[in-house]
Structure 1
Amino acid sequence: MRSSMTLFSTRTLPLISAALFAFSFSASAQATVVDLGVANGYSAFIFGNIGSSGSSGFTSVGGSIAAGGNIYLDNYNVGTNKKPGSAVNSMVAGGNLNTGWGTLSGSAVYGVSNPNATLTAPQWFPTNNISKGNASTLDFAGAKQQLTTLSGDVAKLQSNGTVISQYGNMTLVGNVNADVNIFNIDASNLHNLTLDLSSLKSTASIIINGTATNITMSGGFDNFASFANRTLFNFANATTTSLQNVGINGSILAPNAAFSGSGDMNGTLIANSVSSINYGHVAMNGSGFNTVNVSAVPEPGTYAMLLAGLGVLAFMRRRTPARAPQAAMA
């Protein structure tokens, strides 16, 4: 019996201890890096088309825009207020570039993904700053894969904030000690969201995970202005996302969504496509979301396994008999 206990103590227990330590370290050390990558340089980064024939996707864009498909613009201004860190080209189209009346400040590139793409513009429109690109200009396929994966990873983050719904309004109460505050909202209508500033660090980042498949943003979004470049609305499941005469301070990550509506955004929009419905347009006035690292929180099962392992160690330590003193040699 003693030999088996000795074997357990000298060989098995150290292995259990090492395994538990490694397991606990890996569970707590992993972190999600929330980084919009190349899209951070754009006011709108779209995987498909911006607008459609006869319907302008945007009318006012302060920064740069990029679309993996075609871009259709009319009565527009693009690149008029580019911020530091904005993409070099004010417009990048993977396919065709169709421009009507408007103003382009800066350069434009089309045909990045389609060598047969065409440029359509009025005869008077200056085209000396528009050129045909190639795949080296911008990797839309790689960006789509990275951003879609990111959206799914962010959706899995554990919330540490509280959403209080009352009378059709939502108040977001954070954790005053947290650098990143995460809120989960399962409603399809994000209406009248208010940040409780007393529960947030002034330097905190805000992540709002909307889990619905069709999301509408309406009403007022109060107290977000000072958090604009640190707020991310992540809609991983959304197939449609629309704004209804609302101003949004923050970025939207909706890689599978068709985006439409009216209002304005101070941040980066990432979506599958952009269209104009009933002549509604969203003015894009900003770009960028500050990259943050979100430390993983071990799942309850992780804690249970750690406690169980520590219990075994403590139990075996108590059961190990004390070694009798050896007789002195004559």
Structure 2
Amino acid sequence: MKLFTTRTLPLISAALFAFSFSASAQATVIDLGVANGYSAFIFGNIGSSNASGFTSVGGSLAAGGNIYLDGYSVGSNKKPGSAVNTLVAGNSLNIGGGTINGTGVYGVSNASGSVTAPSWYPSGTFSKGNASTLDFAAAQQQLTTLSGDVAKLQSNGTVISQYGGFKLVGDVNADVNVFTIAANDLHNLTLDVSSLKSTASIIINGTATNITMSGGFDNFGSFADRTLLNFANATTTNLNNVGINGSILAPNSAFSGSGSMNGTLVANSVSSINYGHVSMNGAGFNTVSVSAVPEPGTYAMLLAGLGLLAFVRRRRTPARAPQAAMA
């Protein structure tokens, strides 16, 4: 009996440890970090020499490469918590006619970066930066890793195809609702608010490599700062005249199209946006922690360990002595 106990108790302990470790150590904290202070945080270029990257931006812009803007306004609706500088470029700023509410910094990652802008901008609007201004390389690594981690989260919400679009039905008891959609065209997404807590966070994992958002995105308004569309596999992301209430995390994607967005955009690059509008409306995406669901193997180990524990206890319980008969 002693040998049996010596062999089995370590297994039981390991099962219980694995269960507790799995439930705590694997929790995913969804935090856009430094990107939360911007309407768009881009690793490469915003726009090109032939086209303006954006025409109207309520918050701030950051790009690890070059920023091209013409016929635009930036920083017109900056909110508390927004980035200090309205424009931050890792390389060069190429500014045409437009308005900047705030200051612009260039040459953050490349000391050879320069600024090209009309002479009528006030003195001090543009200045040379360095790596201490903003570490694009570290931010890219953090956000790319985050996108991959979020993509692995287990769905607890239901996606129903209807009327050429998708209805998202959540778990009314969940603080974080995770939905997974494999379609290339995210068309007419409708959030079933009756199935959600009013304080719930919404995570939508789009698994396609080329994603187009079109139609309507209904009922997301009150969840804008708690909605994240995560496109970990996407190489292209396009807005097709649609309004998005939420943030987009697409670290490997080229972003393009037209429409509106109420949140933070994280992407690899931005090409011409025809009459596009990206506004901050506060603080991007609110940080949230998602507890991991233990793997099936961990449950099996736990159940086996508890079964062994019960067996050991039965074996160790001494038999009761027979009671004397009443005289």
TM-score bracket, normalised by the shorter chain, equals: over 0.9
Equivalent residue for 1:21, pick from 12, 16, 22: 16
My pick for the range that moved more, 298-307 or 189-198, is: 298-307
1:82 aligns with 2:94: no
- Please list the CA deviations of residues 127-150 of structure 1 after superposition, one character each: whole Å capped at 9, or x if unmatched: 422100001000000000000000
- Residue 268 of structure 1 corresponds to 264
SS class of match (1:112): coil
Aligned pair partner of 1:259 in 255, 258, 270: 255
How many positions carry a matched residue from both structures? 318
Aligned pairs for 1:111-260 within 5 A? 111-260=107-256
- Report the alpha carbon displacement of residue 320 of structure 1 after superposing the two structures with TM: 5.1
Instruction: Flag as ranges the 4+ runs of structure 1 deviating above 3 A.
Output: 315-325
Gapped regions of structure 1 (runs ≥ 5): 326-330
- What's the secondary structure of 1:271's corresponding residue? strand
Taking the aligned partners of 1:290 and 1:6, their CA distance within structure 2 comes to: 54
Deviation, structure 1 residue 282: 2.2
1:284 aligned partner? 278
CA distance in 1, matches of 2:243, 2:94: 28
Check 1:324–1:192 CA distance in 2 against 1; reply closer, same or farther (3 A cut): closer
Residue 321 of structure 1 deviates from its aligned partner by 7.8
Q: Percent identity?
A: 73
Partner of 2:7: 12
For residues 163-183 of structure 1, give each alpha carbon's deviation from its aligned partner in whole angstroms, at most 9, with x where no partner exists: 000231210000001100000
Alignment gaps of 5+ in structure 2:
322-327
Q: Secondary structure at the residue paired with 1:275?
A: strand
**Which of 92, 95, 104 does residue 91 from structure 2 map onto?**
95
The whole-number CA distance in structure 2 between the counterparts of 1:172 and 1:201 is: 14
Q: Please report the TM-score for the alignment, with normalisation by the length of structure 1.
A: 0.93
Code of the residue aligned with 2:242 in structure 1: it is V
Q: TM-score, normalised by structure 2?
A: 0.94
Name the aligned partner's letter for residue 19 of structure 1: A
Conserved? CA contact 1:40–1:268, under 8 Å: yes
CA-CA distance at 1:311 after TM superposition = 2.1
Letter in 2 for 1:23: A
Counterpart amino acid of residue 276 in structure 2: V
Q: Deviations over 1:43-86 (max 9, x none)?
A: 00000000000200001011000000000000010011101100
Q: Work out the CA distance in 2 between the residues paired with 1:303 and 1:7.
A: 26
The match for 2:308 among 309, 312, 320 is 312
Deviations 1:237-293 (A, max 9, x none): 0000000000000000000000000001000000000001xx624201115100001
Paired with 1:265 and 1:61, the residues of 2 have a C-alpha distance of 10
Q: For residue 214 of structure 1, what is the amino acid of its counterpart?
A: N
Question: Secondary structure at the residue paired with 2:161?
Answer: strand
CA distance in 2, matches of 1:290, 1:115: 34
Partner of 1:328: none
Distance 2:3 2:222 in 1: 62
Deviates more, 1:166-175 or 1:236-245: 166-175
2:41 counterpart (42, 45, 69): 45
Pair 149,322 (structure 1): closer, same or farther in 2 beyond 3 Å: same
Indicate the residue corresponding to 2:325 in structure 1.
none
